[in-house]
Amino acid sequence: MPKSLSLFEQDLAATLEKRKAKGRYRPLYPPHELNNTIDFGSTDVMHLSASGALRREFLQELERNPGFQVGSKGSRLIDGNNQYVVDLEEYLADFHKAETALFFNSGFEANIAVFTTLPQPGDVIVYDEFVHASAIDGMRHTRAASIQMFKHNDMKSFKEVLQKVKTLFPDVREGRRSVFIAIESLYSMDGDYSPVHQVLSAAKEYFPLGNIVFCIDEAHTSGIIGPNGSGFICHYGLEHEFAIRIHTFGKAPSSHVAAIVMGSPRVKDTLANYARNFIYSTGPSFPSLACVKAGYKILSSPDGEERRKRLPVLTAYFLQCFFKHPVWEQIKGNGTIYIPNPGKYVSNGLVSPIIPLITKNKAYNLRAWLLREGINAWGVAYPVVPKGEDRVRVVIHSDNTRPQIERLVDVIMQWALEQKNIPEVKSQL
Ligand SMILES: Cc1ncc(COP(=O)(O)O)c(C=O)c1O
């Protein structure tokens, strides 16, 4: 380490070195490395962005609003409120069959706002262990009396936690304080859906007095599920059950960072009055809002419908190619690579375009191998996923072609056959 570094810089360098030694260092990925690669990695699930469809619609939205001002000019509570954002919130609430919607500059901010603001002192939050980091961060600063985690999508664990809350928190048990249940629709690391009907009925069985606040983050189902892509809750017609719904736009709707929180007028007012990251932050600029509007226009167009329809077909095709590949028969017993519960990715009218390839701590190795073959899919390692479950996350996109999928599977299988001879790779690079 150069001696001329200040103490502060030396501290940072030492911390980064430690991270590198653990193989957990994350470089900002050089964009040129992804040039001309086949996309099985990005969150642009419907390829609205990559296809240019979003750019075209966005430019039209600009034309429909001649004279727009680029900047928002302040926080929403002062100069940053304008007719366009007010109208867009109404449009989005309508689209998702909610009473109101409030715009946030990102899904991360939306979750922070929800969990720091809405649970009141004495309330309890019960959450699935795999909810997004932003929900966890929000809960770390919540005013709720307690936060309680249950094992991912595990009804036995969920009921045990509900029973614990019932025993330990008489105010919640007797309906004087609320219990928040925080889940996601589709979990991004495993590609599995919440067993939402079971969650609803178990929670009501333990807390029958009407003091449950169901809260769902639809980041990974916005745009791809439900009528016009309105989401998982709209797919099942459960809008009335969820007091709080979060839709982010960073995935299918526009792969553009921003989000809405939907709920009653009281939910909206409370967030606007108490969420510090809403109050003390500049409101969204016109280009951000217009991009969201453009994405939603495509979602509800015939092009959007076609793109949505292709996802389950292509996802099923990937699984078929994988499990029918001649190499699979040779390697399936040795644990080099596997896809957990293959039946769950396309079932009951739902699709998960996220498919984890679990690789026994060789995720970065497979990721590097794919990249050399011109394919982009990201490796995810501990601590983002549990130890021993490092994985490459394959994301199927609406514009992926069958030959691209066949090639992806061929390359995966070549790796699985040869990976013993390949040196270990310790990071995404
Ligand atoms: C479930 C979930 N919620 C929230 C977020 C954060 O959304 P954003 O990217 O808009 O900050 C993400 C992003 O990865 C997510 O997967």
**CATH number of the structural domain spanning residue 187:** 3.40.640.10
Are 409 and 318 in contact by the 8 Å Cβ rule? The answer is yes
Map residue 244 onto helix, strand or coil.
strand
Residue 387 pLDDT > 90, yes or no? no
What percent of the chain shows pLDDT beyond 70? 97
Say how many Å lie between the CA of residue 135 and the centre of ligand 1.
9
The answer to whether position 71 is within a domain reads yes
Ligand 1, closest atom to CA 259?
10
Backbone angles phi, psi at 224, to 5 degrees: -105, -15
Domain termination site, one of 299, 331, 360: 299
The answer to whether position 427 is within a domain reads no
Q: Which of 212, 213, 221 is nearest to 194 (CA)?
A: 221
Using one digit for the tens of pLDDT, what is the confidence trace for 338-385?
999 999 999 989 999 999 999 978 898 999 999 999 999 999 988 888
Say how many Å lie between the CA of residue 98 and the centre of ligand 1.
20
Q: What is the mean predicted confidence (pLDDT) over 285-310? A: 97
Looking at the structure, tell me whether residues 322 and 256 fall in a common domain.
Answer: no
Looking at the structure, tell me whether residues 333 and 286 fall in a common domain.
Answer: no
Looking at the structure, tell me whether residues 318 and 218 fall in a common domain.
Answer: no
The answer to whether position 277 is within a domain reads yes
Domain total in the chain: 2
CATH number at residue 336: 3.90.1150.10
Residue 420 pLDDT > 80, yes or no? no
Looking at the structure, tell me whether residues 177 and 145 fall in a common domain.
Answer: yes
Q: What is the mean predicted confidence (pLDDT) over 388-405? A: 96
Looking at the structure, tell me whether residues 282 and 347 fall in a common domain.
Answer: no
Mutate to test the pocket of ligand 1, among 248, 255, 380 (most ligand atoms within 8 A of CB): 248
Looking at the structure, tell me whether residues 223 and 294 fall in a common domain.
Answer: yes
Ligand 1, closest atom to CA 184?
1
The answer to whether position 289 is within a domain reads yes
Cα–Cα dist 266/268, whole Å = 5
Mutate to test the pocket of ligand 1, among 42, 134, 291 (most ligand atoms within 8 A of CB): 134
Cα–Cα dist 213/119, whole Å = 9
Ligand 1, closest atom to CA 249?
10
The band of 113, judged by pLDDT with boundaries at 50, 70 and 90, is: very high
The band of 1, judged by pLDDT with boundaries at 50, 70 and 90, is: low
Say how many Å lie between the CA of residue 95 and the centre of ligand 1.
20
Please report, for residues 160, 162, 318, 335, the alpha-carbon distance to residue 202 in angstroms, rounded to integers and kept in the order given: 11, 9, 35, 36
Looking at the structure, tell me whether residues 407 and 275 fall in a common domain.
Answer: no
Domain termination site, one of 299, 319, 340: 299
Looking at the structure, tell me whether residues 108 and 232 fall in a common domain.
Answer: yes
State the Cα angle at 288 between 282 and 290, rounded to 5°.
Answer: 130
Say how many Å lie between the CA of residue 64 and the centre of ligand 1.
30
The answer to whether position 363 is within a domain reads yes
In this structure, the residues whose C-beta lies within 6 A of any atom of ligand 1 are 106-108, 111, 132, 134, 184, 188, 217, 219, 248, 250, 257, 259
Say how many Å lie between the CA of residue 221 and the centre of ligand 1.
11
Are 260 and 92 in contact by the 8 Å Cβ rule? The answer is yes
Domain termination site, one of 279, 299, 319: 299
Looking at the structure, tell me whether residues 239 and 294 fall in a common domain.
Answer: yes
Q: Which of 281, 301, 155, 191 is nearest to 181 (CA)?
A: 155
Which residues, 6 or more positions from 215, have their beta carbon under 8 angstroms from its beta carbon?
A: 114, 180, 181, 182, 183, 242, 243, 244, 245, 246
Q: What's the one-letter identity of residue 251?
A: K
Q: At what angle do helices 286-299 and 83-95 cross, to 10 degrees?
A: 30
Looking at the structure, tell me whether residues 184 and 319 fall in a common domain.
Answer: no
Q: What is the mean predicted confidence (pLDDT) over 238-266? A: 95
Q: At what angle do helices 196-206 and 155-168 cross, to 10 degrees?
A: 20
Report DSSP state, residue 348: T
Say how many Å lie between the CA of residue 205 and the centre of ligand 1.
31
Using one digit for the tens of pLDDT, what is the confidence trace for 28-63?
888 898 899 999 999 999 999 999 999 999 999 999
Q: What is the mean pLDDT of the chain?
A: 95
Looking at the structure, tell me whether residues 318 and 224 fall in a common domain.
Answer: no
Taken as a whole, the chain contains a residue count of: 429
Mutate to test the pocket of ligand 1, among 106, 108, 249 (most ligand atoms within 8 A of CB): 108
Which residues, 6 or more positions from 145, have their beta carbon under 8 angstroms from its beta carbon?
A: 121, 122, 123, 124, 169, 177
Q: What's the one-letter identity of residue 191?
A: G
User: Which residue lies with its CA nearest to atom 7 of ligand 1?
Assistant: 107
Using one digit for the tens of pLDDT, what is the confidence trace for 311-330?
999 999 999 999 999 999 98
Say how many Å lie between the CA of residue 209 and the centre of ligand 1.
32
Q: What is the mean predicted confidence (pLDDT) over 289-298? A: 97
Strands, E assignment, 259-405? 259-263, 346-347, 350-351, 354-358, 375-376, 378-380, 391-395
Cα–Cα dist 50/43, whole Å = 11
Q: Residue 286 is part of which domain span?
A: 54-299
Q: What's the sign of the alpha-carbon dihedral 126, 132, 134, 136? A: positive
Say how many Å lie between the CA of residue 220 and the centre of ligand 1.
8
The answer to whether position 288 is within a domain reads yes
Looking at the structure, tell me whether residues 359 and 273 fall in a common domain.
Answer: no
Say how many Å lie between the CA of residue 233 and the centre of ligand 1.
18
